[in-house]
Amino acid sequence: MATIDKTQQDAEKQAAAMAAVKFVKNGDVVGLGTGSTTTFAIKELGKRVSDGLKITAAASSIRTEELARSLGIEILDLGSLSEIDISIDGADEFTESLDLIKGGGGALFREKIIASLSKNAIIITDASKKVKKLGAFTIPIEVLPLAYQYVSDQIDKLGGKGVLRIAAGEKFITDNQNLIIDADFGLIDDPAKLSSDLNQINGLLAHGLFINLTSKVVMSEGTDIIIFE
């Protein structure tokens, strides 16, 4: 795998974020993702709000909510929304057909709800996230703690290899008080089929394959902005 220059990658993340925030209009309900790329977008939205942009937002994680509120962005209760005008979120991998792997930051469950509610779901990335086939990045899977072993066994039966996510020496606990299994299925030939198979597993709350949930990917590469839609 090619080494990635972190400074260049951060510059690309920021450029993609700035380009995507231009799509947000007065009066929009905005879905806010989670992660380092989305953080650039939230900060830029905060600037536009202090310059007079009127928006409300729904957050995909506690840390996103805290950041947005600190910048003066009004946060709505995600559970009360039937529709979101536009959402901005990052990804761990994407293909030109707009299939994604998400959830590296562990916020996939709420991110998937936001993407499902969004009329215009925009993904922002640096160039390192574009792949021909998904699967070099393991698929994050949010699971009820009491279903952990059952779900792990079902992942095995589907040909995957799941590992419980650990952070700072402890089980990683999501904002929804659940566990994450990071599942390796190798490079995935048919992401839609795998997504559908995973959706059949009881106790599996959400997985990081996002299929047909993206309107466009705004990718920054060097000094270029490339839009896939």
| DSSP code, position 130 | B
111 is catalytic: yes
Q: Spell out the residues 6+ positions from residue 107 whose beta carbon is closer than 8 angstroms to its own.
A: 33, 34, 35, 60, 61, 64, 174, 175
Minimum distance from CB of 128 to ligand 5RP (Å)?
A: 9
Q: Which is nearer to ligand 5RP, 27 or 166 (CB)?
A: 166
Q: 226 - beta bridge partners?
A: 219
Residue from 90, 135, 162, 191 in contact with ligand 5RP (CB under 6 A): 90
Asked if 12 touches ligand 5RP (CB under 6 A), the answer is no
CA–CA dist 101, 128 (Å, integer):
13
| Span of 98-106, 156-164, 170-178, 217-225 interacting with ligand 5RP by CB under 6 A | 98-106
Distance of CA 119 to the CA centre of its chain: 16
The residues near 146 (Cβ < 8 Å, ≥ 6 apart) are 203
What is the contact mask toward ligand 5RP in residues 175 to 204, using x (rule: CB under 6 A)?
A: ------------------------------
Q: Which residues are catalytic?
A: 111
Interaction site with ligand 5RP (CB under 6 A): 33-38, 89-92, 102-108, 111
